[in-house]
């Protein structure tokens, strides 16, 4: 399951993101991480950074040992480091902690991590120097992205190995992706971009590495992607209801009022609006229709999609708090004290990352059941077996459903929480960890899988609606079919199906299905 693709028309509206002590938004994170929006430090950020650095410099000159300034790290915190060895201490920290392994993570993940660490530095709580912050700004704006390995973070003491890979690149070591996506030595890329490598001073090793920005960046992007997927599956579910001669009466406002769950009401309104004006639905609305009620995968779609919406809202609340946080250890306080703390623990983020994997799996499971129903001649209300043109000679979308089912099973495994699997490290000094990075990586795979599942339902429902001709679908669902037909032809003899799934995935991931049914809004209302 690969990184969700992005098209040019998704580029954010912001020409530049100003990074200061104030919280960033989820949208700003996505704009910089995914769409290459440039950044700058605000005047308030520069003032806070300079003030905090003054406190660290004073502490470095004091005789009392201070963690991360004049001592070793983790279980080596009892080792006092003489002044002439402290620059070496910071360089050694970054080199030793950049110990990741595995394939490189996606560029957008690293850019999100870089932006969020810059914002933490901008709060004036880390003690990093202004030159170091400026170098991080320059790296982002030059589209130079450090190579960060898949494995190495336990989500406590933050995302140490991933952030250390970023810090290492700032010093001119390690490897990076240049603006063309080619892996080159960091020193070469920095020189080409006119960026002077950073020589780390006291406290800066920790200031660059001791945070939860990796998992938080992935949470921000997951919220954005899952919101889009839920909107899309409202549309594909409505298409399936229509294609299966289901009723739209169960989505009525007065029925949703009886159970005042906000997300449910939104999805029900969206599905009801998507089906408005359908000749297919109208064709079996009379008293002579013998069917009493639809299967759960049709009738209960708003309840499941809505619960997913509410889960995303909870995750957005947690993300908002984290985007307002300053995560470091030790941290510089307003009175100049530099105090150790436990705010680097990733549990708040890890829990919601795990939580989001549950509705991703459940939405997919329900979508697969609707797909199977459309392909099964015993339950499809008169549609041909597997929607094949010449059943027996042709297999139609039979194996597309196999692929969908395989992904659904994988999503169920990915819904197993990572955050309950703590493992001790650093000679038992770090004896409980969040595994938030692992939860985030797992969720990214889950959302890519959900994209595939929704894409297959989209393909199958569109063909089923075509087969209901001469009855016409609703204007909204018909527009969704038309958008697909620009990339995937309609009914015919069997074709190579994998490219059709890939084309549908691209439309789903890029939000093109939602755009096609505009002016249907996310609250179910129709705009003018």
Domains of the chain in start order, with CATH, are: 8-211 (1.10.275.10), 219-332+342-423+431-516 (1.20.200.10)
Is the pLDDT at 236 greater than 90? The verdict is yes
Residue 124 contacts residue 49 (beta carbons within 8 Å): yes
Weakest mean pLDDT among 286-300, 350-364, 368-382, 469-483: 286-300
Q: Characterise 367 by phi-psi region: left (phi > 0), alpha (psi -120 to 50), beta (else).
A: alpha
Q: What phi and psi values does residue 345 have, to the nearest 5 degrees?
A: -70, 130
SS3 407: helix
Residue 435 contacts residue 350 (beta carbons within 8 Å): yes
Q: 309: part of which helix (H) or strand (E)?
A: helix 301-323
Residue 107 contacts residue 145 (beta carbons within 8 Å): yes
Mean pLDDT of the chain: 91
152 pLDDT band, cuts 50/70/90, is confident
Cα distances from 165 to residues 157, 207, 426, 429, 435, in angstroms, run 15, 13, 19, 23, 18
* The pLDDT of residue 4: 35
Region 348-377: what's the mean pLDDT? 98
Q: Which are the catalytic amino acids? A: 67
Token representation of residue 202: 């006291």
* The pLDDT of residue 421: 87
For the residues of 212-236, what is the DSSP string, one character each?
-HHHHHHHHHHHHHHHHHHHHHHHH
1 pLDDT band, cuts 50/70/90, is very low
Q: What phi and psi values does residue 42 have, to the nearest 5 degrees?
A: -80, 165
Token representation of residue 392: 């027996």
Q: Which pTM was predicted?
A: 0.92
Cα distances from 374 to residues 280, 404, 457, in angstroms, run 15, 14, 9
Q: 331: part of which helix (H) or strand (E)?
A: strand 331-332
Weakest mean pLDDT among 337-351, 424-438, 467-481: 424-438
Token representation of residue 15: 């020409």
Is the pLDDT at 65 greater than 80? The verdict is no
Comparing 523 with 228, which gets the higher pLDDT?
228
């Amino acid at each position: 399951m690969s990184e969700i693709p992005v098209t040019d028309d998704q580029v954010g509206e912001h020409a530049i993101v100003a990074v200061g002590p104030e919280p960033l938004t989820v949208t700003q994170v996505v704009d910089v991480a995914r769409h290459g929006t440039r950044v700058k430090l605000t005047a308030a950020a520069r003032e806070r950074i300079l003030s905090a650095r003054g406190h660290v410099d004073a502490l470095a000159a004091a005789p009392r040992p201070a963690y991360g300034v004049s001592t070793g790290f983790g279980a080596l915190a009892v080792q006092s480091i003489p002044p002439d060895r402290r620059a070496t201490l910071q360089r050694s920290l970054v080199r030793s902690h950049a110990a990741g392994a595995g394939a490189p993570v996606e560029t957008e993940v690293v850019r999100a991590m870089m932006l969020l660490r810059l914002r933490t530095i901008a709060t004036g709580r880390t003690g990093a120097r202004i030159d170091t912050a400026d170098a991080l700004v320059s790296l982002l704006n030059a589209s130079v992205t450090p190579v960060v390995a898949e494995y190495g973070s336990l989500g406590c003491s933050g995302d140490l190995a991933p952030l250390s890979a970023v810090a290492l690149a700032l010093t001119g070591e390690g490897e990076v992706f240049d603006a063309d996506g080619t892996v080159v030595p960091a020193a070469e890329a920095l020189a080409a971009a006119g960026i002077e490598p950073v020589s780390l001073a006291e406290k800066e090793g920790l200031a660059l590495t001791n945070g939860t920005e990796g998992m938080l960046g992935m949470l921000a992007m997951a919220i954005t992607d899952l919101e889009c997927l839920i909107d899309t599956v409202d549309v594909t579910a409505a298409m399936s209801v229509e294609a299966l001669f289901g009723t739209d009466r169960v989505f009525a406002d007065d029925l949703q009022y009886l159970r005042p769950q906000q997300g449910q009401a939104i999805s029900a309104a969206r599905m009801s609006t998507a089906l408005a004006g359908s000749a297919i639905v109208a064709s079996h609305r009379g008293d002579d229709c013998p069917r009493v009620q639809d299967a759960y995968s049709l009738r209960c779609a708003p309840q499941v999609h809505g619960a997913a919406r509410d889960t995303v809202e909870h995750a957005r609340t947690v993300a908002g708090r984290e985007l307002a946080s300053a995560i470091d250890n030790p941290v510089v306080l307003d009175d100049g004290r530099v105090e150790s703390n436990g705010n680097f623990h990733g549990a708040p983020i890890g829990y919601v990352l795990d939580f989001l994997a549950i509705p991703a799996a459940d939405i997919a499971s329900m979508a697969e059941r609707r797909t199977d129903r459309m392909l099964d001649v015993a339950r499809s209300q008169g549609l041909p077996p597997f929607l094949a043109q010449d059943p027996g000679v042709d297999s139609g979308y039979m194996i597309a459903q196999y692929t969908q089912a395989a992904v659904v099973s994988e999503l169920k495994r990915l819904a197993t929480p990572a955050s309950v699997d703590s493992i001790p490290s650093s000679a038992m000094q770090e004896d409980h960890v969040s595994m938030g990075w692992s939860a985030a990586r797992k969720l990214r795979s889950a959302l890519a899988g959900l994209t595939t599942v929704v894409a297959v339902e989209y393909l199958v429902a569109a063909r089923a609606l075509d087969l209901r001709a001469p009855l016409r679908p609703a204007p909204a669902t018909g527009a969704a079919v038309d958008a697909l037909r620009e990339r995937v032809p309609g009914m015919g003899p069997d074709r190579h199906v994998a490219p059709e799934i890939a084309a549908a995935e691209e439309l789903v991931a890029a939000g093109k299905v939602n755009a096609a049914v505009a002016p249907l809004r996310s609250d179910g209302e129709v705009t003018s």
